[in-house]
């Protein structure tokens, strides 16, 4: 009986160790993504700046857009947007995007003199 209890405790310790390792790996990836996005904020293209400025001026942190937008896909690769659609499929016409908090908080600092576009820039970009 004591041996069974020892084996159960050993399994628990291994399980706990794996959970801690998964958490640490996820946290490391998020930190790296955040640093990369903030670095990209310092050298934004005009198109990226227009999208972020439009979203901030209309207070739209989460928005729906066409799934095939190359501009939004590039912004997602740069870490400036996150796809936030739990039921997204490959044939979906639209999807939801989210501006991460660390990007949202920097928009006014980085783009304070940038003009607000009159309409959604991702619809005008090929």
Closest CA to 52 of 70, 28, 76: 76
Long-range CB contact pairs, 107-116, < 8 A, 24+: 107/52, 107/53, 107/55, 107/56, 108/56, 110/41, 110/42, 110/44, 111/44, 111/49, 111/52, 111/53, 111/56, 114/49, 114/50, 114/53, 115/53, 116/53, 116/54, 116/57
Task: Give the tokens for residue 35.
Answer: 């640093």
pLDDT in tens, 74-125: 999 899 999 887 776 777 788 899 999 989 998 988 888 889 898 899 887 6
pLDDT in tens, 16-64: 777 776 766 666 666 777 778 778 778 888 999 999 999 999 999 999 9
Task: Give the tokens for residue 115.
Answer: 């003009």
- For the question of whether the overall pTM of this predicted structure is more than 0.85, the answer is no
């Amino acid at each position: 009986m004591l041996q069974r209890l020892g084996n159960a405790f050993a399994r628990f310790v291994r399980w706990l160790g794996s959970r801690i390792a998964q958490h640490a790996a996820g946290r490391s990836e998020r930190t790296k993504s955040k640093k990369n996005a903030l670095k990209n904020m310092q050298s934004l293209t005009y198109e990226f700046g227009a999208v972020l400025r439009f979203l901030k001026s209309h207070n739209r942190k989460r928005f729906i857009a066409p799934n095939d937008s190359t501009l939004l896909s590039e912004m997602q690769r740069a870490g400036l947007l996150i796809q936030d659609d739990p039921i997204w499929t490959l044939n979906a016409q639209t999807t939801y995007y989210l501006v991460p908090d660390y990007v949202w908080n920097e928009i006014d600092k980085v783009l304070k003199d940038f003009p607000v576009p009159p309409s959604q820039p991702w619809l005008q970009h090929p």
